[in-house]
Amino acid sequence: MNAQAPPSALVGTVLAFADDELVLGWRDSEWTGVAPFLEEDVAFSSIAQGEIGHARALYELVAGVLGGDADALAFDRAPEEYRCAPLVELPLVGDWAATIARHGLYETADAIRVAALKESDWPELAGLAAKMDREEAYHRMHARMWLEKLKGNERFEAAFTELWPYALGVLEPAQRGALAEVVGRDEVDAVERGAHADGFAALHEEMTMVRRSVPGATW
Amino acid sequence: MIWEVFRQEREGQPFQHGGSLEAPNREFAEAYAVEFYGRRAESVALWVVPREEILEIEDPYVADVFDRDYRRVDGYSLKIKLREARERAGTA
Amino acid sequence: MLERMGDDEFRAYLQEGGQVEVGDPMPEDYRKALIKFIEMHGNSELMGVLPEREWILRAPTLQRKLALTAKVQDEVGHGQLIYRVVEDLGKPRDACFDDLIAGKTKFHNVFHYPTKTWGDVGVIAWLVDAAAIISQKALLKCSYAPYARIMKKICWEESFHILHGRDVVLAMMTGTDEQRELVQEALDRWWGPLMQFHGNRIPAEDDPMYQWRIKSQANEEARQQFLDGYVDQIWELGLTVPDPELRKDEDGVWHYTEPDWDELKWVVTGHGPATERRLGLRRASREETAWVRRAVLADAA
């Protein structure tokens, strides 16, 4: 596949993945400075940074095919052009139970997604997926550690149940069975990509306000 | 629970106390220690210990009541004997 | 382990360079002064997070977003290190937070002011952090050894922050007219608080913090060091400092318009433009997450 551009459907998948990481990283970084306790604040901030870092690498990969650069893809598109899963868009800051539920569900879904991408015919994507997988090991450990602690907690269990249809929407339909098996829940109707969750418009507005204030500037 | 973190800056160097943190169990302590003392790759290894496991000894040795200079380098004075031995051997 | 000694003997011991460790016997006044000083530092790290974290969400490039998140993360980490020292001196972290939120303890003036633009992000990371680092370097010689030790890590991490701040400012100063205007406007607003930051002139003999070698640098000395280090850097970018009196004399001493010490006092006693809102945010986030601490930290005790 070296001389040809990757198929546009695959590029679309990668762009959606980048959008997931960007928006989840954005949401997770809302906890910086206000996490439940100081040690966790530092740890969770690293996870947010990891996500933004992955988004950057994924956008760079897409920019290599579509042109432009990572920042342009991340910030200069109109809200309707973003393809993130509604799961990552939900505004959960303030609710640690829901945040951890999302964190756990996303990491589990993402593990399945990344495993598939490691087998991709697009060599740069396969390589990047392998690198991301190594870093994700820390994210998964962190999620597991919290899931253990909050297991049985009422708030957490309620949030987990509520977010389950959203988690399924992170993956392609063919992969959802695997997620259901790992999580130990029945597959239900997923909240699909397409329509943005409430709060996305406000997120996009805030995320791009400085950049839009002087269009084309270098920051 | 308070955990003390000891860090090794480079391979082969002694572990030095870096600081302490609060964590409910070993898993959390590991995650946090790595964050605090490793996220800038400033340590090659860490030892993380619950504070209550550390045996603190404040005055490691009672002051010499009896002369124990055989344990110290300055308890040996070779100059005089060495001079005598050299004179004997004619190598002085 | 230190022997117990009288107050005068203790002061002499400190002035000769004597160090105090965790658990050493110490005069109650010294212990209380340490707690107050170090707690204020911890409070400042925690409150300093709030003006900056909003801009993480608005960062105009991925690199800036990452750098700013990392900077704020460092500050939270510093808060953690500092409050651990306070806890080992006898005041638990929760008690520190209670007092901070109730307005009973202080934090640095600069964190009582709002931020308005991305220009603030650059100016804060560059100049406010620079002012803070000068004080922090002086604390490396603090007589209380556990505090001096964490200052090493803190100073090392702060060096990244100033670089980041300067980079943000330089990007704007080499950018468009609007961007340059953002920086100048931010500097105009932050100059007053910056000049007040190191506090008013107290002679060393009258300052118990100095007597006990908790502080080893007089306030005015710190301010002069700040001006020495940064005014030229500001001027060389074509920025103006909003003080017509600012100049260096032939003896190398900086002259400036007397800072508004009344404003400083008013602000640090809880009347800054952003004080209430920020303390309110701390209070709210603490309440929202209390159940997490009960579930996670309490049962491990």
CB A6 within 8 A of CB A65: yes
A219 inside domain: no
A86 inside domain: yes
Instruction: Tell me if A43 and B32 make a contact (CB, 8 A cut-off).
Output: yes
Domain ranges for chain C? 7-276
CA distance B66 to chain C (A): 22
pLDDT 10s digits, C65-117: 999 999 999 999 999 999 999 999 999 999 999 999 999 999 999 999 999 99
Q: Which of B20, B21, B27 to mutate to test the interface with C (most CBs of C within 10 A)?
A: B20
Distance between CA atoms of residues B33 and A175, nearest Å: 35
Instruction: Tell me if A219 and C292 make a contact (CB, 8 A cut-off).
Output: no
Chain A residue with CA closest to B28: the answer is: A145
Please state, for a pLDDT cut of 70, what percent of chain C lies above it: 98
CATH number of the structural domain spanning residue A13 = 1.20.1260.10
Q: Which residue of B22, B24, B31 is in closest CB contact with A141? A: B31
Interface of A with B in 109-128 (CB under 8 A): none
A1 inside domain: no
List all chains that touch chain B, counting a touch as 3 or more CB pairs closer than 8 Å. A, C
Q: What is the CATH number of domain C7-276?
A: 1.20.1260.10
Contact status of A137 with chain B (Cβ, < 8 Å): no
Look up the domain containing A91 and give its range: 8-213
pLDDT 10s digits, A91-103: 999 999 999 999 9
List all chains that touch chain C, counting a touch as 3 or more CB pairs closer than 8 Å. A, B
A206 inside domain: yes
Q: Quick one: how far is CA A165 from the chain centroid?
A: 16
**Own/partner long-range contacts of C275-282 (Cβ < 8 Å, ≥24 apart):** C275/C112, C278/C47, C278/C50, C278/C51, C278/C111, C278/C112, C279/C100, C279/C101, C279/C103, C281/A34, C281/C50, C282/A34, C282/C46, C282/C47, C282/C50, C282/C97, C282/C100, C282/C101
Residues with pLDDT less than 50, chain C: 300-301
Which domains, ranges and CATH numbers included, belong to chain B? 2-53 (3.10.20.520)
pLDDT 10s digits, A4-45: 788 889 999 999 999 999 999 999 999 999 999 999 999 999
Instruction: Tell me if B22 and C297 make a contact (CB, 8 A cut-off).
Output: yes
B1 chain-C contacts, CB cut-off 8 A: 300-301
ipTM associated with this complex:
0.94
CA distance B10 to chain C (A): 16
Distance between CA atoms of residues A83 and A102, nearest Å: 18
- Spell out which chain B residues touch chain C, with contact meaning CB-CB distance below 8 angstroms: 1-2, 17-25, 28, 35-36, 40, 58-59
Instruction: Tell me if B32 and A145 make a contact (CB, 8 A cut-off).
Output: no
Domain count, chain A: 1
Average pLDDT score over residue span A64-77: 96
